[in-house]
Structure 1
Amino acid sequence: MTSASIHPASGPARRTVVAAGAAGLALALTACGGSGSDTSGAVEDGGTGDGAPGGGTGGGALAATADIPEGGGKVFADRKVVVTQPAPGEFKAFSAVCTHQGCAVKSVADGLIHCPCHNSAFSIADGSVRGGPAREPLPAVPITVSGDSVRLA
């Protein structure tokens, strides 16, 4: 008997099973990421960064000051930054990564930054914890406001 005449029992090859498993995992992870749509009145926007707060670009323009609502804010998901305006003309920025388990915050409403994963809430004024399981505040991200533009510092 030669090795060419030996055939395994019917069934998929190991490579086929591994490839199918990897594809299924990728699909499952994509499904957990959310669609970017939000019915809570949240404002979410993308950026061009590399995933770190500010995208590692420094000085990158995020938005016009008019785009950040007074008493609210805007999440820049791709930059992992949330910019708020707690008082007229006062702009703050925080990491958009929840300090509880690393989920992305998704909305800003009623003076709070909300994480959808476990309902943690943070102050738009200083990033402090206002509710939920998070125990640490959102870290501040340096920004500059020049004219009508909000930029990463």
Structure 2
Amino acid sequence: MVDDRDRGCPSRRAVLAGAGGVGVGALLTGCQTYGEATPAAPAPEAAGPAAGGSGAPAKPLATLADIPVGGGKIFAAQGVVLTQPAEGTIKAFSAKCTHQGCTVTAVRDGSIVCACHNSVFDIADGSVRSGPAGGPLPEAAVSVEGNSIRLA
């Protein structure tokens, strides 16, 4: 009787080990993260004498008219979401979802939405309306001077 190994065929053990490796690889592929956010750029700061600037305030991020009442706007490059839950009330939150760090994708119907896994946050306080996010969006500091909104 001729042994299969003598003919260059793999052993039953090698075939089963290879099949198991393919299954583990497929399983781990399903666990990968996707839509990962790129690191947010640091917030611009007012240039002052300590920074070697002229002392002029930083350029406004937005005006009150740019942020719809009952809605908001995402500033991905600065890593913030500005909202106006009630007329004249400006709130700012991190644009990074607390579930897996994706940048939030929309502000609609009084909510901040992360399309990566459908987490929804309240525009007034950043609290989770529906998961899988387990924590609220952290607040960001802003100042409103006249009609201008600046990161603090």
Counterpart for residue 40 of structure 2: 51
> Are the aligned partners of 2:82 and 2:92 in contact in 1 as well (CA < 8 Å)?
yes
Alignment pair present for 1:73 and 2:72: yes
Q: Which runs of 5+ in 2 are unaligned?
A: 1-34, 47-57
Q: Deviations over 1:80-132 (max 9, x none)?
A: 10000000000000000000000000110000000010000000000000012
Structure 1 residue 33: Cα displacement = 7.5
Bigger mean CA deviation after superposition, 79-88 or 55-64: 55-64
Equivalent-residue separation in structure 2 for 1:149 and 1:86 (angstroms): 17
Letter in 2 for 1:99: T
Letter in 2 for 1:145: V
Counterpart for residue 92 of structure 1: 91
Letter in 1 for 2:128: V
Letter in 2 for 1:92: K
Please, what TM-score do these two structures have when normalized by structure 1?
A: 0.65
Count of matched residue positions in the alignment of Structure 1 and Structure 2: 106
Equivalent-residue separation in structure 1 for 2:123 and 2:36 (angstroms): 24
Kindly, what percent of the aligned residue pairs are identical? 58
Which of structure 1's runs of 4+ aligned residues deviate more than 3 A?
none
Counterpart for residue 101 of structure 1: 100
Letter in 2 for 1:110: D
Counterparts of residues 1-153 of structure 1 (less than 5 Å): 51-52=40-41, 55-59=42-46, 60=58, 61-153=60-152
The structure having more radius of gyration, on CA atoms, is: 2
Equivalent-residue separation in structure 1 for 2:143 and 2:68 (angstroms): 17
In angstroms, what is the RMSD of aligned CA positions? 2.0
**Secondary structure of 1:91's aligned partner:** strand
Please, what TM-score do these two structures have when normalized by structure 2?
A: 0.65
**Secondary structure of 1:78's aligned partner:** coil
